[in-house]
Amino acid sequence: MWRKVWSVVRKELKDLFREKRTIFMTIILPAILMPAILISMFYLQTNTFEKEAVQAKTIAIQTGDTMAKHYAEILKAKKIIENYIEVDDISKAIKDGKALTGFSIKQSGDNIVIETFYNVEKSSGGKKIQAIANIIKEMYVAEYLQKHGLPPVNMLTQIKANPVGDPLAMAKAMTGYMLGLFLVIFTTIGNTYLGADIGAGEKERGTLLPLLSSPADRKSIATGKWVALTITNLISATALLAGEGFAIWYMIKQSLQMGDEKIDFSMMGQFITPSTIVMLFLAAILLALFGAAVQLIISMWSKTLREAQLYLGQLSLLVFLPAMAIIPTMISGGKLAMWAFYIPIVNTMALVYNAVMGQLTTLHIVIAFGANIIVAAIAIVIVVKILDMEQVILRT
């Protein structure tokens, strides 16, 4: 049987790669598009961090606010802030990007009111200005006590942070989520043209009937087509992973050269390990098995190539709807439930995520591969049944 299967595989691969656009869509596009997307995101985020870093060094105070200027000078002398600017409108200065934060101080008797300003669109602004306001409050209390004849008191509080847990947890979670998502997209949705051509395309060209008349039985033909489509999916996934690997290497290299003031991607090297890369390839195999099975059923059932392309174009819904169940957990850095490894496509993303997070076990791998192989076997049975249906083969 397997000799017949491999003869079908060779025939299908020759047919699938007979056009240059097939090679472009399967190999070249994933290898080029992925690094382009990741590196572009890297530079856009880096430029954003640069601008925010410049803004964060400067604090705005109201022109004529002598008390705010007094404390701004002290904060600058103590190197708590690097610089301050006097403006007529603090809110406008922050909107214009002249400063990230600002404050004003009004005195009412023995009390003071510290009014803080910060850009709500920048996550770090509110925390920074609140910390500065607390420092000003303590300095004012110290000055007040001294003014009323009490010994000078250094009220500046020192806070020692003791972080608990993995500091790279969120970075790992986002990396695992993105790698799994891109792998799913390019290994299944990216090969819809090949999936449509392997069945419906062959009907239109009139080459399916001669194949059915060959010595190969229906099961060998269905298995051969499935294996051929799986191989093309793996080629596309390998091109994708090669592109991702280059992009990650480039970002780490550039990040190490940029210094501390820019976003640091070098930490990715701490969890994109050789074992993670191996797991990515295993996940690609897993996804290719399932994706080829689904594409083959749709393609063989469709009457025309256009109809198959239309159906396979909606394959993205099949990909994202089940994945939506685990995406919130992945983004938040949570632990995936065991059921996620029983569902095709979902289990591929789950394997990649757990590999990056360092939570992958042998049981996860066994369950995921077992589930996808069962689905693929069912798909082959369905295709064999389809090949026995005269109305489907003759497109009636």
Q: Which of 119, 126, 127, 138 is nearest to 75 (CA)?
A: 138
Range 352-380 average pLDDT: 86
* Residue-wise pLDDT tens digits, 128-151: 888 888 888 888 888 888 777 776
What's the maximum distance between 2 C-alpha atoms anywhere in the chain? 108
Name which residue leads in pLDDT, 89 or 325. 89
Name which residue leads in pLDDT, 271 or 79. 79
Q: How confident is the model at residue 22 (pLDDT cuts 50, 70, 90)?
A: low
Residue ranges and CATH numbers for the domains of the chain are: 2-49+167-393 (no CATH), 57-147 (3.40.190)
Return the pLDDT at 164: 63
* DSSP 8-state secondary structure symbol assigned to residue 338: G
User: What does pTM read for this prediction?
Assistant: 0.62
Is a pLDDT exceeding 70 seen at residue 119?
yes
Name which residue leads in pLDDT, 22 or 208. 208
Pairing of strands 83-87, 58-62: parallel
* Percentage with pLDDT > 70 across the chain: 79
Is a pLDDT exceeding 80 seen at residue 223?
yes
The one-letter amino acid at 119:
N
Is a pLDDT exceeding 70 seen at residue 153?
no
Least confident of 123-137, 187-201, 332-346: 187-201
What is the pLDDT of the chain when averaged over all its residues? 77
Name which residue leads in pLDDT, 391 or 321. 321
Return the pLDDT at 93: 87
Q: How confident is the model at residue 96 (pLDDT cuts 50, 70, 90)?
A: confident
Q: How far apart are CA 271 and CA 277, in angstroms?
A: 10
The two tokens of residue 21 are 């656009």
Is a pLDDT exceeding 80 seen at residue 47?
no
List of E strands, the chain: 58-62, 83-87, 101-108, 111-118
Name which residue leads in pLDDT, 391 or 119. 119
Alpha carbon 215 to its chain's center: 47
Distances (CA, A) of 176 to 222, 244, 272, 276: 34, 12, 10, 10
Return the pLDDT at 260: 45
Range 11-16 average pLDDT: 74
Name which residue leads in pLDDT, 307 or 170. 307
Return the pLDDT at 65: 92
Name which residue leads in pLDDT, 258 or 371. 371
Is a pLDDT exceeding 70 seen at residue 210?
yes
